[in-house]
Structure 1
Amino acid sequence: MLQELTIKDFAIIKNLNLSFNRGMTVLTGETGAGKSIIIDAVGLLAGGRGSSEFIRHGAAKCVLEALFSLEGNSLTYELLKTYDIDSDEGIVIIQRDIHRSGKNICRINGRLVTIATLRLIGESIIDIHGQNEHQELMNPERHLSMLDHFGDKELVGLKKDFQETYTQYKKVEKAYEKWQNGEQELAQRLDMLQYQTSEIEMAELLDGEEEELLEEKNILSNYQKIMSALSLSYDVLQGDEVNGIDLVGNAMTDMSSLEEIDEKYKNLSEAISNSYFQLQEAASDILREIDQMAYDENRLNEIEKRLEIIKQLKRKYGDSIAEIKIYYEKISAELDQTMNRENHLTNMTKELADLSKKLIKKGCQLSLKRRTVAKDIERSIHEQLQELYMEKVVFEVQFFKPIKEFLSEEAHESGFDAVEFYIATNMGEPLKPLAKVASGGELSRMMLAMKTIFSKSQGITSIIFDEVDTGVSGRVAQAIANKIYMVAVHSQVLCITHLPQVAAMADNHLYISKSVENDRTKTHVNALETTEKVEEIARMLAGTEITKLTLEHAKELTVLAKIERQKQKKIS
């Protein structure tokens, strides 16, 4: 549920803070006051397309922020978990800043996210129903996804299962076509693979070889420096004449005679004694190193040549000997496949045939489920349309291909089905494509019928109706008001309306107005109390001049609406 909305420097709005309640909230007011701007702001927080044109004149950026309570919305919880966004308190705070440069900064619970992530999570919380959704009905290509949207978990599972097989099928199909059609390319590839495998094999690379060679090269390259240091050190420690070890030995003998005089002399004696034996050991180690040292220029040349070979192979095939070996295994397998092309093609043909059967089987299961769901939709839509005074309308989901005619090469990511919504608006008329024969008012009621059905199962936190009641009046207007309230029983509903019947049904009423201050337009939002609500409904009924009779009519509408709200709550 949308609880708080903050808008700063957005269109004509300088600074606006709104609080929202449960149930059905209507937004009414004069044209151009900012009703749709508020809905546009919510739409941007749901991941809508942003533009620097939204920024208020004179401002560097606009800031939009909303606080939602999830109230058990499992889909949103799962998405937040997927993107590692904290949601322990069941609260989602969405913020979006749009800068003059076009840069968008989006945050969910303080975490930076991309527009795509914002849209994915935002659409699980907010569902904005406006004229664009009428366009969805007018586009037959969207009808299949709308049908799937109505489906249960079984349909979702079947569709996901099909898509996994479809992805695998297309991958094998692409590989098969490449192997079958690329004769010249394959011949060139074969030559290259043979050359590369041969080059790596001839190198006979060993694990850890490069490190050992570099270490040995370092020693041979510094032979003179090492020998000089070792020799000088040995002469100092244990030369033929006076040497360091003998001198330390004399000091050790002298200090040992003082050990019984005082503890501190004993400690000094032990320290010198330890040093004496350590120096002796060091001298022996140095002598052993001198005896083992030998300069071999040929060996150094061999090492440098070997390291150059490894360097060239690393430049071509990987950053290390381990990576070169991994690459070798990969191309060896490909070489084997290429040299045994016919066998490989035979295996791929069999794999493709098996996947084709599997794809058709899963596609048939998905289509059968869709046809069952389609009947459920038709039945539910007819029930809703009767309550919207479209009882004569016949609605049907038409499938254009029988299941027995499914071919794997005609599959698409969503299955084999192509569907379109058909209606007959008058008794005795044949069914025709909805997109070609439905009027604006009929499209509005059709979408509202679908929203009424979907709202019970979608788990959407907030649903927004942006002037969906355009082009209707009288009893149809009241029926639309009842339907919108029915949706509000299951989800929070925000609704921009010009119909007094819809406004009367609302639990909460926000009046949007504007004024000019310091030569700038300013938007105001007031929550109307009972008396103010009646006056606003009277204005919607009568226009500019409100009479006593109009006020009485408005009061009557609010009383009848209260009775209808109680009725709807009992039904739900």
Structure 2
Amino acid sequence: MLTELSIRDFAIINQISITFKEGLTVLTGETGAGKSIIIDAIQLLAGGRGSVEFVRHGTKKAEIEGLFTVDDDHPVFSKGKQFGVEIDEDGMVVLHRTITHQGKSICRVNGKLVTLAILKEFGHTLIDIHSQHETQSLMDPDRHIELLDMFAGEELAASKSEYSEVYGKYKSLMKRYKELSENEQEMAQRLDLLDFQLHELQEAKLQPHEDDELSEERKKLMNYEKIYQGIHDAYYSLYGEQKGLDWLSHAMTSLESTSDYDESLAKMSEELSNSYYLIEEMTFQLSSQMAELEFDPERLNEIEARLNELNRLKKKYGATVEDMLEYSATIEEEIDEIRNKDSHLSKMENQIHELSQDAVLEAKNIHDIRLNASEKLSGYIHEELKDLYLEKASFAAEIEVKEGRPNDPVFEGRPVQLNSSGFDIVKFLITTNPGEPLKELHKVASGGEMSRIMLALKRIFSRHQGVTSVIFDEVDTGVSGRVAQAIAEKIYGISQGSQVLCISHLPQVAAMSDTHVRIEKRVDNDRTFTAVKELSEEEKADELSRMMTGAELTETTLEHARELLEMAEKHKNK
């Protein structure tokens, strides 16, 4: 959930810090007080488009920072691994956005500088913002397949994973086939280049790990004097009269003479004897190595020349000798493909056909799961719409197979166009009037109906999206009466699964809040400021009364407000 929000020098906000709680938080206030500005700030924090217009007049930058707390299985952890952002075990994520008066945008996640695109990736896993304008985005047909797949859950996710593997191979092979079959001139030029590269690599006569071995040998030759001196000093410190081995031999003899009288000394004597013979053996090795050491300046020159040649080739063909050998084998295969193009194309055609059929079978499995999920989804949506007094509305998640071209893979006797999601096109259709045909959402619903349809969809999908905070910005505009009460209950229902922040002008929604925050606009020294205040129960009743009748509070409206709060409490207790 969004735990803390800090805003400085943003629009008409000088500086505010808001602590948010679990459940439903409702923000109310007069028009222009700055309610939507707070949502704008959160939207920017989630990677929305910024503007210098957001920077408060007379200041150099606007700063927004949000602290989120998440469970240990939240998808933000995988985002952290993907983008190298450390997220501790406490599950605390801090998003920070600065917009300068020059239009520059600086983004951070847990203190690490990130691009706006990366900030947006994190924001989408933490915040889901819905406004009257954003409702249109939810109605976008291009998003419907994503929402249906989310609703279908793990069964579809597993099938999509299997499909993606096959589809990836199919697309890769299709790309290679196209490259090989098209543009003879490019292929001829490519062949010349590959022949030159292969010849250069073969002439180099590369050996595995050659660069590491030569570097090691060069290091020894370049430090010959230090190595020789070290071996020489070690050897003559151990060997000779009155040297290390001589004194160790003396110590060994002395201990042996006492071993018959003390068992502990006998053990020490044995260990000393073993150490003596080990050191004696090491002395022989030092002597042998000192005799074999030889400085060969010609060999050093050869090594330098060979390493220079290898480094030159590495700039062109790979970071290591192993990479270059692997590249050599790869281009050798490609040369063979180009020179024997016809036979390779024929072989690839067979492979493409097999892969396309496999992909179609996997896509059909996805198609079937989506059909089952669409029926369940329609049933759930109908129940939600009934609760919102759209009982005569009819909803359907229509699934069509995307028609392909003649050479595309075939499904049930007709070509289909495969993409990363299969071969389906998903559209959410609705009619709110009996006898009228089903049409796309945005072509049918009025403003008030759109709000209710969006809430019905959100009520279903919020269980599957896994976002930390859901934000509604005046989505209840255009409704009143019993519909307003139904919307209030739906918004409260969504808050049972995730934190909800809601800007509203409806007293029914405000009454349902677990936390009620009033946004006020004040003028001080000819400058406008936005202030935030969390209301007590008594202040909450006053605010509801004001929302009903305007600035003047009467005992009657206060009584109605208290009654509304009591009704809301009874609904919550259910």
Q: Same fold (TM over 0.5)?
A: yes
Match of 1:47 in 2: 47
Maintained 8 Å contact 1:3/1:69? yes
Paired with 1:58 and 1:387, the residues of 2 have a C-alpha distance of: 50
Maintained 8 Å contact 1:162/1:362? yes
Match of 1:444 in 2: 451
Task: Give the alignment of 1:279-318 within 5 angstroms.
Answer: none
Match of 2:495 in 1: 488
Match of 2:432 in 1: 425
1:105 Cα offset (Å): 2.8
Structure 1 residues 318, 467: closer, same or farther in 2, change over 3 A?
closer
CA displacement, residues 157-192 of structure 1 (integer Å, 9 cap, x when unaligned): 222332332222111111111111222322333344
Q: Does 1:143 align with 2:144?
A: yes
Q: Which runs of 5+ in 1 are unaligned?
A: 220-280, 568-572
Task: Give the alignment of 1:98-113 within 5 angstroms.
Answer: 98-113=99-114
The residue type paired with residue 438 of structure 2 is L
CA displacement, residues 296-317 of structure 1 (integer Å, 9 cap, x when unaligned): xxxx9x9999999989867865
Structure 1 residues 100, 304: closer, same or farther in 2, change over 3 A?
closer
The residue type paired with residue 552 of structure 1 is E
1:209 Cα offset (Å): 9.6
Task: Give the alignment of 1:114-193 within 5 angstroms.
Answer: 114-193=115-194
The residue type paired with residue 486 of structure 1 is G
Paired with 1:11 and 1:22, the residues of 2 have a C-alpha distance of: 27
Query: What is the DSSP-based 3-state SS (H/G/I as helix, E as strand, rest coil) of the residue aligned with 2:158?
Result: helix
Maintained 8 Å contact 1:374/1:397? yes
Structure 1 residues 54, 547: closer, same or farther in 2, change over 3 A?
same
Match of 2:367 in 1: 367
Paired with 2:361 and 2:193, the residues of 1 have a C-alpha distance of: 41
Structure 1 residues 37, 400: closer, same or farther in 2, change over 3 A?
same
Paired with 1:114 and 1:406, the residues of 2 have a C-alpha distance of: 47
Maintained 8 Å contact 1:26/1:497? yes
Maintained 8 Å contact 1:73/1:460? no
Structure 1 residues 411, 554: closer, same or farther in 2, change over 3 A?
same
Q: Does 1:94 align with 2:101?
A: no
1:556 Cα offset (Å): 1.7
Paired with 1:544 and 1:22, the residues of 2 have a C-alpha distance of: 30
Task: Give the alignment of 1:303-382 within 5 angstroms.
Answer: 325-382=325-382
Paired with 1:447 and 1:141, the residues of 2 have a C-alpha distance of: 16
Paired with 2:416 and 2:341, the residues of 1 have a C-alpha distance of: 24
1:144 Cα offset (Å): 1.4
Match of 2:224 in 1: none
The residue type paired with residue 33 of structure 2 is A
Q: Which runs of 5+ in 2 are unaligned?
A: 222-286, 403-409
Match of 1:261 in 2: none
Paired with 1:167 and 1:8, the residues of 2 have a C-alpha distance of: 47
Paired with 1:153 and 1:212, the residues of 2 have a C-alpha distance of: 54
Structure 1 residues 396, 175: closer, same or farther in 2, change over 3 A?
same
CA displacement, residues 424-446 of structure 1 (integer Å, 9 cap, x when unaligned): 21122222222211111111111
TM-score by length of 2: 0.78
1:551 Cα offset (Å): 2.1
Match of 2:533 in 1: 526
The residue type paired with residue 103 of structure 1 is K
1:562 Cα offset (Å): 1.4
1:487 Cα offset (Å): 1.0
Paired with 2:43 and 2:135, the residues of 1 have a C-alpha distance of: 17
Match of 2:21 in 1: 21
Match of 1:570 in 2: none
The residue type paired with residue 109 of structure 2 is I
Paired with 1:73 and 1:196, the residues of 2 have a C-alpha distance of: 49
The residue type paired with residue 510 of structure 2 is A
Paired with 1:65 and 1:22, the residues of 2 have a C-alpha distance of: 19
Maintained 8 Å contact 1:26/1:503? yes
Query: What is the DSSP-based 3-state SS (H/G/I as helix, E as strand, rest coil) of the residue aligned with 1:374?
Result: helix
From 466, 472, 477, the counterpart of 1:470 = 477
Paired with 2:20 and 2:75, the residues of 1 have a C-alpha distance of: 22
From 502, 522, 534, the counterpart of 1:515 = 522
Structure 1 residues 340, 11: closer, same or farther in 2, change over 3 A?
same
Paired with 2:67 and 2:324, the residues of 1 have a C-alpha distance of: 53
1:154 Cα offset (Å): 1.3
The residue type paired with residue 460 of structure 2 is I
Match of 1:505 in 2: 512
Name which of structure 1's ranges 74-83 and 124-133 shifts more when overlaid on structure 2.
74-83
The residue type paired with residue 427 of structure 1 is P
Paired with 2:211 and 2:488, the residues of 1 have a C-alpha distance of: 80
The residue type paired with residue 341 of structure 2 is R
Structure 1 residues 329, 502: closer, same or farther in 2, change over 3 A?
same
Query: What is the DSSP-based 3-state SS (H/G/I as helix, E as strand, rest coil) of the residue aligned with 1:4?
Result: strand
Structure 1 residues 6, 194: closer, same or farther in 2, change over 3 A?
closer
Paired with 2:311 and 2:4, the residues of 1 have a C-alpha distance of: 63
Query: What is the DSSP-based 3-state SS (H/G/I as helix, E as strand, rest coil) of the residue aligned with 1:350?
Result: helix
Paired with 1:399 and 1:548, the residues of 2 have a C-alpha distance of: 56
Structure 1 residues 406, 18: closer, same or farther in 2, change over 3 A?
farther
Q: How big is the alpha-carbon RMSD for the aligned residues of Structure 1 and Structure 2?
A: 3.8
Query: What is the DSSP-based 3-state SS (H/G/I as helix, E as strand, rest coil) of the residue aligned with 2:496?
Result: helix
1:132 Cα offset (Å): 3.6
Match of 1:11 in 2: 11
Maintained 8 Å contact 2:214/2:303? no
Task: Give the alignment of 1:68-79 within 5 angstroms.
Answer: 68-71=68-71, 74-79=74-79
CA displacement, residues 328-376 of structure 1 (integer Å, 9 cap, x when unaligned): 3332221122222222112211211111011101101111111111111
Name which of structure 1's ranges 475-484 and 334-343 shifts more when overlaid on structure 2.
334-343
Match of 2:266 in 1: none
Name which of structure 1's ranges 156-165 and 441-450 shifts more when overlaid on structure 2.
156-165
1:447 Cα offset (Å): 1.0
Query: What is the DSSP-based 3-state SS (H/G/I as helix, E as strand, rest coil) of the residue aligned with 1:456?
Result: helix
Paired with 1:487 and 1:212, the residues of 2 have a C-alpha distance of: 67
Paired with 1:324 and 1:54, the residues of 2 have a C-alpha distance of: 53
Task: Give the alignment of 1:29-40 within 5 angstroms.
Answer: 29-40=29-40
Identity, % of aligned positions: 47
The residue type paired with residue 127 of structure 1 is D
The residue type paired with residue 36 of structure 2 is S
The residue type paired with residue 466 of structure 2 is G
Question: Aligned pairs, how many?
Answer: 504
Match of 1:238 in 2: none
TM-score by length of 1: 0.78
CA displacement, residues 460-506 of structure 1 (integer Å, 9 cap, x when unaligned): 32211110101111110010001111111222211100111111111
Query: What is the DSSP-based 3-state SS (H/G/I as helix, E as strand, rest coil) of the residue aligned with 1:414?
Result: coil
Structure 1 residues 406, 106: closer, same or farther in 2, change over 3 A?
farther
Match of 1:560 in 2: 567
Structure 1 residues 168, 18: closer, same or farther in 2, change over 3 A?
same
Match of 1:266 in 2: none
Paired with 1:523 and 1:209, the residues of 2 have a C-alpha distance of: 67
Structure 1 residues 390, 73: closer, same or farther in 2, change over 3 A?
farther
Match of 1:227 in 2: none
Structure 1 residues 530, 338: closer, same or farther in 2, change over 3 A?
same
Maintained 8 Å contact 1:388/1:480? yes
Paired with 2:26 and 2:199, the residues of 1 have a C-alpha distance of: 76
Paired with 1:443 and 1:70, the residues of 2 have a C-alpha distance of: 31
CA displacement, residues 128-152 of structure 1 (integer Å, 9 cap, x when unaligned): 1212432124422222122222221
Maintained 8 Å contact 1:360/1:407? no
